[in-house]
Amino acid sequence: MSYSTLLFDIDDTLLDFHATENRALELLFEKHGIELTDTVKDNYVKFNQSLWKKLELGEISRQELMTNRFTTFFKKEFDLNIDGLSLNREYLEFLSTGTDTIPGAKDLLSTLKKSGHKLYVVTNGIDFVQERRLRNTGFNSFFDDIFISQKIGYQKPDARFFKNVFNELSEFNPDDTLIVGDSLTSDIQGGHNANIDSIWYNPKLSPIDKKITPTYQVSNLQDILQIVG
Q: Which residues have a catalytic role annotated?
A: 9
In the chain the first and final C-alpha atoms are separated, in Å, by: 7
* CA 152 to each of CA 75, 126, 155: distance values in angstroms, whole numbers, following the listed order: 32, 11, 8
How far apart CA 228 and CA 81 sit, in angstroms, is 51
**Which pairs from 73-80 meet CB under 8 Å and 24+ separation?**
73/43, 73/44, 73/47, 73/48, 76/47, 77/40, 77/43, 77/44, 78/34
Q: How far is it, in rounded angstroms, from Cα 194 to Cα 113?
A: 24
